[in-house]
A and B are shown apart, each in its own frame.
Chain A
Amino acid sequence: MKGLRFTLFVALRHIRMRVRSTLLILLGVSLGVFVMVVMQSMMFGFQAEFMRILLTTTPSILVKGRERGTISEGRIYTSRPGTLYDQTRLKPIEKEEGIRAYRTLSREIEAIPGVQAVAPIVQGRAILRYGTRDRGANVIGVDAPDYDRVVEFRSKVIGDVDELIRRRDGVILGVFLAEELGAVPGTRIRMIGVEGQEADLRIVALFRSGITAIDKTYAFVNLPMGQSILDYPTAATGIAVKVSDPDRATPIARRVEFVTGLESQSWQEINAVFFGIMRQQNVITFGAVAMTILVAGFGVANGLVTVVLEKRRDIGILRSLGVTARGVAAIFTVEGIIIGILGAIVGVALGAVWVDIMDDLPIGGRGGLSTSDTFLMLREPAVYIRSIVFALIVSTAASLAPALRAAKYDPVEIIRTAK
């Protein structure tokens, strides 16, 4: 305890002696921590929000109307030299059959531990026509109350969901899809199915998830209406499943496959490539941010090297007064840590202020993926803790080499050569 107080005393003295250069080093560390806090808050904030929307808009598991393993058993297209995609081009022999026994299967899936709710859906492509304007849409036929148990459907609908249940010819359009068609709730549009089935539908409400790709393509209809337009008169194309713990979706999807014999994909598997890009983006950004802190670490090392050189005689005296080599090393390491802590405090404070400011800052142009108007900043303590820890590690590491050097000084040599 006494040793620690002495170490602190000497370390603080060294820091106070060189105010100007210490301030510059501190500023470097603060800026590094600041940048790290802000970037983490920005990237993770966006990603967390995106994941949240994804999890509340799309089911955690989607069971498909295709028998497990059929795709790998499909015929591989004969390879033509010089073409690019031969290996992956599989030819389906005919249209997928859909799940006829979807009611029974739903009950079976619901009995699997971890499954919270299920809803049969029918999903496919169709053209929407309003006046002379046509748009392709991803049509999803749902039983609204069932579907609402699987995803947070009701809360994303602007208008009256129950209208969809009451009217057989109701349709709920993604907001951007409606906008591109130029149609508003209350108007009638025509939906043209792939086999030529047509239906005049009434827009009863709009759907807004916040993910551009979804809001631009989705159109929800009643399950029977979807079945007739998409030409699955008595079948569903999939069963949407909600699990109680989203992190366990993949093992549960495997369990569902085992029980039903149908191909199932968890939300992690469906979005695997997308998450891969997110990770890649994180790596690039962190590479850039780490550079700032690394350079700040160089500053810390630089300052300590200078102190060690300047205090050569002091070190000799300390050693001859009985301070061990380890004690000398401790003094300089503590100096590095103190600078790290002070820099982290200033950086975190600056970062918190800036995160607050950015939270209300409008994003220039509507983003490609999300439709949020402002930056989505994450304000979890983890963001700050990670930045502080990183700064401390770097500044401690930076102080190690100068500290070890100081510890290696031979006191006899120093005192003998001193004037």
Chain B
Amino acid sequence: MGIVFSIAVRYLFGRVRQSLLTVGGIVIGVLALTVIQAMMGGFRANFVDSMLGASPHITVRRKSIQAFDPASPTRDALRRLQDPFIVQLSRPPLPDEEEEIRSPSTVEEAIRQVPGVTVTAPMVGGQVLFGFSGNWEPVSLNGILPSRQARLLDFASKVIEGNPEDLERNQSGVILGRILAERMRVGVGDRVTARAEDGALTSLRIVGLYASGIYDVDNSTAYVNLRRGQSLLGLGSTVNTIGVRTTDYEAADETARRIEYAIGMEAESWMEASANNLGLLRMITTVMYLVTFFTMTVAGFGIAGNLVTTVSEKTFDIGVLKAMGMKSREISLVFLTLALLMVIIGLGLGLVLSYFAVEGISRIPSASREVPGAIVSSSTFPMMKSTSMYVISAGFALVIGMAAGFSPAVRAARLEPLNIIRNAAG
């Protein structure tokens, strides 16, 4: 083993320039792979964190909302409209009037029996108009029990100004989404007017501003006390949603199915609610991984090319080594070790560089603040900083290096010592 290693080291340093170029390829490959992982992972983590700060793990409703249902009457009508021969439009069924949950505590009790459920909270949700000095905005209103909400989701930490507990004390308090407040040009302490279901006007005092990081949420949502929400939405003492927290948010889908099975109401996990955005994220991530995969592959070609040249340059040495009794297996080990050495040096440098790159990029201000269409708004690039991404890069580089070294190493082992030495002499 000693001789194999020292020959490999000799070959490595015997061709400094070529070795450096090969190692450089690996450094860049590792750098690209790690930084992309950090970027994509950070982006997803940021999105999930924002999402879970804005909506419960699972939302239970009386009946399903038909949005994006491929079999919905709108889709059907759309298909007909595009077909010039079918002009008859069917009358759609009116939306179900029964959306209220009349005895929330009984339903909550049943939900809490489902394994995986930790907290439940009754909520009401609907559209109302908020007005301030003559400007009116439709707002998605949420009526909540503040103390329960704090246990249901990471609500309090998303309230950036004011105090979420004021919602409990102040029956006419309201917490507004930050971007909505900015658009309406109001702040904590201002009074806004809410137009209720029946047209009655109510004055609400802004006790806090709320920033989940999800643009759509911060641009349209307001939180009030459950009571106030019920009266504004004309729901009496019923609620229309129950929020559920689970032990493992990544398993919210299964828990949602269990709840549906147990109580016969529609349960939507946060993944289902944000399926579009998660799908988009997944697509971008796949594409970026593919690009970095190519970078690594090309770096692998560099290793293979380097080894092929070394083998052909050192053909005579190989012949001599074999004639002196070195086994074929050991010859191939020499070249595999050479590949491994290049990978390890490249890897070391690449990991150090990517650490600094990740730290550096996480300080660059990002333009994705407050833009409709940007999934999350964040002031800097969210970068994932976990050891797993370094481990994955290292593993991948090693695999590529070994794969690239394999064929030249086998070739070197197959060389016939007699032929080589005879040719060299002649």
Binding site for B on A (CB under 8 A): 18, 20-21, 24-25, 27-28, 31-32, 34-35, 39, 42, 77, 80, 83-86, 88-95, 125-127, 130-137, 158-159, 175-176, 178-187, 192, 194-196, 205-206, 213, 273-274, 276-277, 279-280, 284-285, 288-289, 291-292, 294-296, 298-299, 301-303, 305-306, 310, 363-369
Contact = CB atoms under 8 A, between A and B. Distances in A.
A129 to B, nearest CB: 9
Contact of A24 (B304, B366, B367, B373): B304
Chain B interface residue bracket vs A = 35 or more
B21 interface: yes
Nearest to B299: A295
A183 B292 CA distance: 46
A367 B297 contact: no
Given A183-B74, A302-B306, A89 B298 contact: no
B260 interface: no
Contact of A291 (B21, B28, B67, B369): B28
A289 B168 CA distance: 53
A24 B301 contact: yes
B135 interface: yes
A184 B298 contact: no
B73 A184 contact: yes
Interface stretch (B94-102, B324-332, B383-391): B94-102
B298 A213 contact: no
Given A95-B133, A134-B126, 18 more contacts: A31-B301, A34-B294, A39-B287, A85-B178, A85-B182, A89-B185, A90-B185, A179-B67, A181-B95, A187-B92, A277-B368, A288-B292, A295-B29, A295-B299, A296-B298, A298-B25, A298-B28, A367-B280
5 nearest CB pairs, A to B = A365-B279, A136-B138, A194-B136, A95-B134, A131-B95
Interface string B290-308: 0110110111011011101
A54 to B, nearest CB: 11
A83 B182 contact: no
Contacts of A185: 77, 81, 89
B283 A295 contact: no
Interface in B122-136: 126-127, 129, 131, 133-136
Nearest to B364: A280
Contacts of A133: 95
Contacts of A88: 182
Contacts of A205: 81
B93 to A, nearest CB: 8
B32 A298 contact: no
Interface string B130-174: 010111111110000000000000000000110000000000000
Nearest to A157: B81
B313 interface: yes
Interface stretch (B246-254, B270-278, B315-323, B414-422): B270-278
A365 B305 contact: no
A94 B366 CA distance: 35
A306 B305 CA distance: 10
A18 B310 CA distance: 12
Nearest to A91: B185
A366 B127 contact: no
B78 A301 contact: no
Interface in B321-380: 366-375
A295 B25 CA distance: 5
A288 B161 contact: no
B118 interface: no
A137 B94 contact: no
A15 B52 CA distance: 59
B188 interface: yes
Nearest to A284: B39
A299 B136 CA distance: 63
B131 A92 contact: no
Contacts of B366: 280
Contacts of B90: 184
A158 B79 CA distance: 10
21 contacts: A21-B305, A21-B308, A25-B301, A28-B305, A31-B298, A83-B187, A85-B178, A130-B94, A182-B92, A182-B95, A185-B89, A205-B81, A206-B81, A213-B373, A277-B367, A296-B298, A302-B18, A303-B309, A363-B283, A364-B283, A368-B276
